[in-house]
Structure 1
Amino acid sequence: MNLSGAVAVVTGGGTGIGRAVAEALTAPGASVAITYARSAPEAKATAASLGALVVPLDVADDKQVRRMADRVVGELGRVDILVNNAAVTHAVEHADLDALTDAMWHEILDVNVLGAFRCTRALAPVLRASGGAVVNVSSISAYRAGGSSIAYGVSKAALLQLTRNLAAALAPEVRVNAVAPGTVNTRWQTNLHGAADFAIRRATEEQHIPLGAIATPQHVAQAVLGLLGMDNVTGETLIVDGGKHIRY
């Protein structure tokens, strides 16, 4: 895929991995629309720095998703790339089953799985027309019994199955792949653990990572762009964790 002149939508594109992906896409000449649900100041600052379109969006609301799709196509003319990065979680100890409420389950699945489906569904006609590509941002928690909560891990595993199903449903015009990052040095982690605790967790984890360091948002963005450039690959997931998964 030639990124020069392409149009991309990055959900949750104001901070962290989403921002890094948006930056990586604009570097070779793509136009980008970034969406945000909670981080309005950061998203607007990111959009201003990249010359990107910024759209408020709750991916749990299908009407908002369809309005976003109409706006992006109306203002940018087409869509070639969709990166489903928007996600939520709740930090709940896995052994404390009672603490993981039905409301938490519904919110996490609605955003992390159905949100990606809604955005892909809304943009499918224009992605088909352009011969485009979708990359879903999953997690290493899709593969192992870890992460911020049971519901989060289940949602990210479901996202991988959604990736495979969409790859089949949208072929041959649209390729659909996923990335599954391990621990990434982002605000997401410091919000979950606190800066001091995360620093300790990071130092401990890096002792067991073959490449010696946790991922940065830019590492994940490299993987996203790599998948966008693989014209004969669909339905696949690329793990980005410095090789830690080979030692789990």
Structure 2
Amino acid sequence: MDLNNKVALVTGGGTGIGRATCLALAQRGAAVAVNYSRSETEAQETVNAITLQGGNALAVQANVSQDTEVHAMVQTIVSQFGSIDALVNNASITRHIPMDDLEAVTEEAWDELYAVNVKGMFYCARAVAPLMKKQRQGAIVNVGSIAGLSGAGSSLPYAVSKAAVHGLTLSLAKALAPEIRVSAVAPGAVATRWWAGREEQMQRLSGNVLLQRIATPEDIAKMICSMLEQEAMTGQIITVDSGQTL
């Protein structure tokens, strides 16, 4: 898919990987819908950065765990841009819970993480699918995690939810073919705001990965754009982790 003059929706587009992806898409000529749930200021800053560079962008609010809000968001984007050609399911949340502390994993934690990280991605894919089917072309990239491959991460529910994202990717690739391609990127550690206050830990980690560097949001954004562009790819989980999982 040539992203020039296409319309892309990026969930959680105001910060981190989402913001870097919005900027990368705009640089390739796409009009970008920057979704946010609570980070309105950051989403608008992303829009402003795109428009200052001559691009076209819109900030649109929706809690992706709420199906009705997702449909309203898609309608807003279509009324502004005409359609949606690409979806980047980036919005995710976590809770930091020691992996071996099973008693600290509450029902609320399970419900909240699954609602956003898994059901939210499904709701967004389902909402854009009819548009992409109608134009007989579309691409979706879900943002998973190496936590979903290794079973370890910021918490047990987070790791399991990301494994579910990978499974959802494979199922959607089968369900939406041949018109819509669906794959996922599985980042390792990425230098985002979530490392604030844990910079020493990040530096220790960077010395133990093969490339001796922590990936940046821009690294992940480049891969996401490449996956959207690659018309012979679907149903793939691509790891970008500087060799962390080796």
TM > 0.5 fold call? yes
- TM-aligned CA deviation for residue 66 of structure 1: 0.4
Aligned residue number for residue 136 of structure 1: 142
- TM-aligned CA deviation for residue 40 of structure 1: 1.2
Unpaired runs of 5+ residues, structure 2, are: 52-56
CA distance in 2, matches of 1:64, 1:189: 30
Aligned residue number for residue 152 of structure 1: 158
CA distance in 1, matches of 2:126, 2:195: 30
CA distance in 1, matches of 2:74, 2:46: 20
- TM-aligned CA deviation for residue 212 of structure 1: 1.3
Equivalence map 1:1-248=2 (5 Å):
1-51=1-51, 52-130=57-135, 131-190=137-196, 195=197, 198-246=198-246
Paired residue type of 1:35: N
- TM-aligned CA deviation for residue 189 of structure 1: 2.7
CA distance in 2, matches of 1:90, 1:199: 18
CA distance in 2, matches of 1:55, 1:153: 28
CA distance in 2, matches of 1:145, 1:78: 37
CA distance in 2, matches of 1:145, 1:200: 23
Aligned residue number for residue 54 of structure 2: none
Q: How many residues align?
A: 240
CA distance in 2, matches of 1:127, 1:113: 21
1:137-186 deviations in Å (ceiling 9; x for gaps): 01110011321100000000000000000000000000000000000000
Paired residue type of 1:100: V
Q: Secondary structure at the match of 1:244?
A: coil
CA distance in 2, matches of 1:164, 1:146: 21
Q: Secondary structure at the match of 1:135?
A: strand
CA distance in 2, matches of 1:135, 1:44: 23
CA distance in 1, matches of 2:67, 2:170: 22
Give me the TM-score of the superposition, normalised by structure 2: 0.95
- TM-aligned CA deviation for residue 211 of structure 1: 1.2
CA distance in 2, matches of 1:67, 1:189: 33
Unpaired runs of 5+ residues, structure 1, are: none
- TM-aligned CA deviation for residue 239 of structure 1: 0.5
Q: Secondary structure at the match of 2:72?
A: helix
Q: Secondary structure at the match of 2:182?
A: strand
The answer as to whether partners of 2:151 and 2:160 remain within 8 angstroms in 1 is no
CA distance in 2, matches of 1:105, 1:33: 29
Q: Percent identity?
A: 45
For the aligned residue pairs, the C-alpha RMSD in angstroms reads 0.9
- TM-aligned CA deviation for residue 39 of structure 1: 1.1
CA distance in 2, matches of 1:220, 1:231: 19
- TM-aligned CA deviation for residue 76 of structure 1: 0.4
- TM-aligned CA deviation for residue 188 of structure 1: 2.2
CA distance in 1, matches of 2:112, 2:223: 27
